[in-house]
C-alpha cells in the first residue's frame, strides 16, 4: 500500500489589485519609530507568526512579520489589519508577496518574492 503524500501547508492567497493574478501573502514589513516597531513586535506574537527586527535599506530599522504556513489565517490577517489600523502610530506597512506561479517547479521560488505597497493586493475578506 502506498501512503498518500501529506497536504502542503495552508497559505494566504491574495490577488494583485491591478491584474488580478494570484499571489501568496507571505507577511508584512513595518518601518517607523522605535516605539512603533516595538508595538508591531507585540502584535506579532503567537505560533502563526514569526517576527524579527533588522536594518533594511539605508540602514533603517524594520520589523519583518512572516505568516507561518499552516498557521491561523484569521490571526495572521487580524495582525496585519491591526498593524495597518494605526494602533502602532507612525508605523509604515508594506506587504511581502510571491507570485503563486513561483511555487511551481522551475518557477523561481522565494527569489521572486517582492515588497509592495498594501494597495498592491486585494485584501482578503475576514
Q: pLDDT at position 1, please?
A: 47
Q: pTM for the full model?
A: 0.89
pLDDT on residue 61: 93
Rounded distance between C-alpha atoms, residue 107 and residue 61, angstroms: 31
126 residues of the chain, pLDDT tens digit each = 455 555 666 889 999 999 999 999 999 999 999 999 999 999 999 899 999 999 988 888 999 999 999 999 999 999 999 999 989 999 999 999 999 999 899 999 899 999 999 999 998 776
Amino acid at each position: 500500500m502506498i501512503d498518500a503524500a501529506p497536504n502542503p501547508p495552508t497559505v494566504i492567497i491574495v490577488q494583485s489589485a491591478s491584474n488580478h493574478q494570484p499571489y501568496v501573502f507571505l507577511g508584512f514589513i513595518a518601518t517607523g519609530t522605535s516605539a512603533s516597531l516595538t508595538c508591531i513586535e507585540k502584535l506579532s506574537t503567537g505560533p502563526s507568526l514569526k517576527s524579527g527586527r533588522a536594518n533594511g535599506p539605508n540602514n533603517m530599522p524594520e520589523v519583518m512579520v512572516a505568516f507561518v504556513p499552516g498557521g491561523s489565517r484569521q490571526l495572521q490577517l487580524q495582525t496585519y489589519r491591526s498593524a495597518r489600523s494605526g494602533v502602532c502610530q507612525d508605523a509604515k506597512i508594506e506587504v511581502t508577496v510571491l507570485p503563486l506561479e513561483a511555487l511551481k517547479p522551475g518557477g523561481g521560488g522565494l527569489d521572486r518574492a517582492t515588497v509592495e505597497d498594501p494597495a498592491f493586493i486585494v485584501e482578503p475578506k475576514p
